[in-house]
Amino acid sequence: MKMKIQTNSIITLSNNEKYMVLNEATYEDNHYYLVMGVDANQEIISSKVAIFKEEDENNEIYVSKVSDSKLIIELTKLLKSQL
């Protein structure tokens, strides 16, 4: 069964880093998430902010960090306008 990533949930990456999903948006037919790191006590790490792109491989959901600076600017505008 395919898991849906939801706002205000915590996702754990394969390297065991944890992120709180703050917001989500669809841009050019892709789904993106504004996330902020959390520590072992589930406390927000305000300096650890990222945007993840949802990837669907063989009906499994993965995320990858967005690194394209122009795309980050566009997504930041979109995601912040929805907060």
Residue 4 lies in a domain: no
Residue 61 lies in a domain: yes
Residue 5 lies in a domain: no
Residue 54 lies in a domain: yes
Domain of 17 in residue numbering reads as 10-81
Domain count of the chain? 1
pTM above 0.85, yes or no: yes
Residue 3 lies in a domain: no
pLDDT tens sequence for the chain (83 residues): 456 899 999 999 999 999 999 999 999 999 999 999 999 998 999 999 999 999 988 888 899 999 999 999 999 999 888 76
Q: Which residues contact 35 (CB under 8 A, 6 or more apart)?
A: 11, 19, 20, 21, 22, 49, 50, 51, 52
Residue 53 lies in a domain: yes
Residue 20 lies in a domain: yes
